Amino acid sequence: MKKILMGVAIITVMIACDTKKVEGPIVVTPEEFHTSVDKVIEIMIHDIFSPPVASRIFAYPNIAAYEIIALHNEDYLSLEGQVTDLAAIPKPEADLPINYQVAALVAHMELSKRLIFSENRMEAFRDSLYGVWKTKNTSVFDASKTYGLKVAEHVGTWMNKDNYAQTRTMPKFTVNSDDPTRWQPTPPAYMDGIEPHWNKIRPFVIDSAQQFKPTPPPVFSMEEGSDFYRELKEVYDVGQKITEIGDESEEIKIAKFWDCNPYVSVTRGHLMFATKKITPGAHWIGITKISCRKTDSDFDKTIFAYTKTSLAIADAFISCWDEKYRSNLIRPETLINQHIDDNWKPVLQTPPFPEYTSGHSVVSGAASTALTNIFGDDFAFDDDTETAYGLPIRSFTSFNQAADEAAISRMYGGIHYRVAIEVGLEQGRNLGDFVVNHLRMTTKKEMASIQN
């Protein structure tokens, strides 16, 4: 009987020790946040979100995560009062055992789930993390999860007032086929113009969609020697030259690397289907991940970098789309087929919206400015963002060099006039400067360490 009681006692002690061993701290790594962002991108590709809508999907979850970090880490400053209409997030109840990094990732996943269609894919990823965290420390996990969901609800309420829902019910864009200067749907799918009301979305940092209104494009003219005709002829001539060389052409490699068109349609006989690609904003989010990894950024700085960059990207799309549907300029492909060569095709498939200004140029200008502000100028990196889509790594000496290449890629692709590229890049950089100069997200001490 004594042996039995002693055995029971030993087992009880072992179980108690075992339980004690399990209940430790929950450590959240930057890689887990990167994986959450990657999962969102994977789902967005599956769900085929337009580039402007994708930028919104990045911004809100990052803001929710960042505000939790800023509440806990004195090196970071809240966006309350800096981002349009954002009120302070609720503070947690006193004495709760909250892990703020767990709460930040919970908020990020919850808001991301609300913004995509394939919620079950996000839930599967979320539940896998929840399972790990819960086994490490149930009480900390429960408190952190509850708080993260509370912040997600707060940010979600603010998010739902940005006019996005209203734009879903607004009329489609009307094509004026009688006006030779106006945009017309392009082959092969001849899709309607996407997001014609995006300028009605509430901006994040800029004052209004019109704040960085660019100079108008050259006056439309098909007379040889006119500024506009020279712009058109250059697109045709560049396209002819690089397609003669073929896929070995550096220009074609650049065009394909920066394509980022989620609406590419492939025709096989009577069958038409879409190929899966990321958006231009997602490409720059990928560069943000590369930069964080290269600098061994901790969890909090990683969220800071994603948030600042995604805010610049989101406002860049609002600014660019405002101009696109104001100038409503016809694409080079349409005019070249009508007036120069009816068999000509661009290297890239023309995306379904007006030409001026170039979205890649505006977004790349804004994103590169934000990233330069975070990681410094002359920040060399290897961009492997497109390897998942069968494209090789490209190397850059700075974010600005990458932005320049992304912009000119649209000329090589045959889908933009040079003026849309150059003016668009300036538009994006001016907007990016405004964002970084008007947001105070870090203390002076922390900003100095970031720049160094």
The reported pLDDT for the residue numbered 247 is 83
260 and 223 co-located in one domain:
yes
* 263 pLDDT tier (thresholds 50, 70, 90): confident
User: Do 162 and 79 meet the contact criterion of CB atoms below 8 Å apart?
Assistant: no
145 and 217 co-located in one domain:
no
* 428 pLDDT tier (thresholds 50, 70, 90): very high
Look over the chain and give the mean of its residue pLDDT values, rounded to a whole number.
92
For residue 220, is pLDDT > 60? Answer: yes
User: Do 367 and 287 meet the contact criterion of CB atoms below 8 Å apart?
Assistant: yes
The reported pLDDT for the residue numbered 389 is 87
User: Do 256 and 391 meet the contact criterion of CB atoms below 8 Å apart?
Assistant: yes
Percent above pLDDT 70 for the chain: 90
Q: How many domains does the chain divide into?
A: 2
281 and 423 co-located in one domain:
yes
Domain boundary among 100, 128, 161: 161
Mean per-residue pLDDT for 287-309?
98
* DSSP state for residue 53 in the 8-state scheme: H
302 and 417 co-located in one domain:
yes
6, part of any domain: no
The reported pLDDT for the residue numbered 4 is 44
The reported pLDDT for the residue numbered 157 is 98
19, part of any domain: no
Look-up of token digits 């790349």: 364
The CA distance from 41 to 446, in Å, is: 29
Q: Whole-prediction pTM value? A: 0.92
For residue 21, is pLDDT > 60? Answer: no
Which residue range forms the structural domain that includes residue 321? 182-451
168, part of any domain: no
282 and 419 co-located in one domain:
yes
3-state secondary structure (DSSP) of residue 272: strand
Mean per-residue pLDDT for 21-32?
84
15-41: b or e for each residue (b if 16 or more CB lie within 10 Å)? eeeeeeeeeeebebebebbbbbbbbbb
175, part of any domain: no
324, part of any domain: yes
Q: Is 383 exposed, middle or buried (0-12, 13-18, 19+ CB in 10 A)?
A: buried
153 and 186 co-located in one domain:
no
71 and 195 co-located in one domain:
no
Six token digits for residue 75? 């090196």
Six token digits for residue 46? 């599956």
370 and 288 co-located in one domain:
yes
156 and 218 co-located in one domain:
no
Of 73-77, 262-266, 427-431, the range with the lowest mean pLDDT is 262-266
Tell me, what CATH number does 412's domain have? 1.10.606.20
5, part of any domain: no
Domain boundary among 161, 194, 213: 161
The CA distance from 312 to 108, in Å, is: 18
199 and 156 co-located in one domain:
no
DSSP 97-108: ---HHHHHHHHH
pLDDT digits (tens, 9 = 90+) for 108-120: 999 999 999 999 9
Q: 357: cis peptide before it, omega within 30°?
A: yes
pLDDT digits (tens, 9 = 90+) for 226-253: 999 999 999 999 999 999 998 889 999 9
For residue 452, is pLDDT > 60? Answer: no
111 and 201 co-located in one domain:
no
Which has more confidence, 347 or 265? 347
The reported pLDDT for the residue numbered 12 is 45
Mean per-residue pLDDT for 367-389?
96
* 177 pLDDT tier (thresholds 50, 70, 90): confident
For residue 281, is pLDDT > 80? Answer: yes
The CA distance from 442 to 79, in Å, is: 10
389, part of any domain: yes
The reported pLDDT for the residue numbered 269 is 54
322 and 364 co-located in one domain:
yes
